[in-house]
């Protein structure tokens, strides 16, 4: 009887523990599911490789929720509608942008929401929308895929031009140029002493030119003084020409001309009648009766 009583007690204790564990689990699950979430949608054009139900959603790099559903847009088969379940109170703005990013080159993909500005209004659902729709942009990987053909084409052109540059003729020309360069460096190495001497002589020549310049300074000062004196003489001559000197010289020239004319006239009279100068003019004029 005592053994059966012990078994009953142990069984009751185990049953009580199991019931308590089930109640605790149900309470925790109820608390989790009773939490409120906010839902948004994002429309992605093209492939959404790496995304699935339960994929992380981050807001400015911080984990804020997960993806709850992915479906094709009935109006556009090329577009995928992603439903995001995020924690409340994020205050996502109208200028917020969602994109598909990955953790490194080999890491898993996730949805990254870039926060907008505080001046932008809160994002709300519009008429006909089940949830507010966040604007999207192509992921870095999608942009790389889109630009890959252009990059490959440019690489092909660069490789072709490089092959043209490194053809046989150009390689021979480059080899010849390198040989000439090597020969030139050897010549310079052999003439290093001469080059050093030339540099020393050039330095001495510069010193001599400096000394000569110092010696020429007094001469140049004397030349400046002479030029100043000539300038003063020119100024005096200009004053004479522009002042009363010209008028006085003109009067003197006029008087000289009249004197010469009088002398010429006297000389002519003397040549015609030399006695007139000694005895005067004795001719009598006509006297009327």
Surface-to-core class of residue 111, CB atoms within 10 Å of its CB (0-12 exposed, 13-18 middle, 19+ buried): buried
Mean pLDDT of 140-149: 68
Split into its structural domains, the chain has a count of 2
- What does the pLDDT look like over 199-248, one tens digit per residue? 888 888 888 888 877 777 777 777 677 767 766 766 666 665 665 665 66
Can you tell me the distance from the alpha carbon of 283 to that of 1, in angstroms, rounded to the nearest whole number? 212
Instruction: Tell whether the model's pLDDT for residue 2 goes beyond 60.
Output: no
Q: Which three-class secondary structure state does DSSP give residue 136?
A: strand
Return the minimum-mean-pLDDT range out of 4-13, 48-57, 106-115.
4-13
Tokens found for residue 110: 């996730």
Q: Which of 118, 122, 127, 110 is nearest to 38 (CA)?
A: 122
Residues 117 and 192 in one domain: no
Can you tell me the distance from the alpha carbon of 194 to that of 187, in angstroms, rounded to the nearest whole number? 11
Task: State which residues form the domain around 221.
Answer: 186-249
- The chain-wide mean pLDDT, for the chain, equals 78
Q: Which residue among 76, 107, 139 closes a domain?
A: 139
Tokens found for residue 120: 């932008």
Indicate whether 13 belongs to any domain: no
Residues 132 and 46 in one domain: yes
Mean pLDDT of 264-286: 60
Q: Which three-class secondary structure state does DSSP give residue 286?
A: coil
Can you tell me the distance from the alpha carbon of 12 to that of 4, in angstroms, rounded to the nearest whole number? 12
- pTM for the whole structure: 0.43
Can you tell me the distance from the alpha carbon of 62 to that of 255, in angstroms, rounded to the nearest whole number? 118
Tokens found for residue 209: 């030119």
Tokens found for residue 288: 């009327």
Residue 86, pLDDT score:
93
Indicate whether 230 belongs to any domain: yes
Residues 50 and 109 in one domain: yes
Residue 286, pLDDT score:
47
Residues 199 and 134 in one domain: no
Indicate whether 148 belongs to any domain: no
């Amino acid at each position: 009887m005592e053994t059966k009583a012990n078994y009953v007690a142990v069984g009751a204790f185990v049953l009580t523990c199991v019931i308590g564990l089930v109640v605790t689990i149900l309470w925790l699950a109820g608390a989790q599911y009773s939490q409120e979430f906010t839902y948004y949608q994002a429309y992605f054009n093209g492939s959404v490789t790496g995304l699935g139900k339960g994929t992380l959603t981050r807001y400015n790099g911080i984990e804020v929720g997960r993806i709850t559903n992915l479906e094709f847009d009935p109006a556009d088969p090329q577009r995928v509608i992603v439903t995001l379940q995020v924690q409340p109170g994020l205050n996502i703005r109208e200028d917020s942008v969602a994109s598909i990013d990955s953790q490194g080159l080999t890491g898993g993909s996730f949805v990254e929401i870039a926060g907008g500005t505080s001046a932008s209004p809160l994002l709300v659902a519009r008429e006909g929308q089940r949830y507010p729709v966040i604007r999207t942009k192509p992921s870095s990987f999608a942009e790389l895929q889109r630009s890959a053909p252009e990059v490959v084409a440019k690489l092909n052109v660069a490789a072709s031009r490089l092959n043209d540059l490194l053809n046989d003729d150009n390689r021979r020309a480059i080899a010849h140029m390198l040989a000439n360069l090597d020969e030139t460096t050897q010549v310079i190495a052999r003439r290093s002493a001469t080059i050093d001497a030339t540099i020393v002589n050039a330095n001495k020549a510069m010193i001599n030119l400096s000394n000569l310049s110092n010696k020429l300074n007094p001469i140049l000062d004397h030349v400046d003084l002479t030029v100043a004196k000539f300038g003063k003489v020119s100024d005096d001559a200009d004053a004479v020409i522009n002042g009363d000197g010209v008028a006085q010289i003109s009067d003197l020239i006029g008087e000289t001309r009249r004197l010469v004319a009088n002398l010429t006239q006297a000389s002519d009279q003397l040549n015609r009648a030399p006695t007139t100068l000694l005895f005067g003019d004795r001719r009598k004029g006509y006297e009327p009766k």
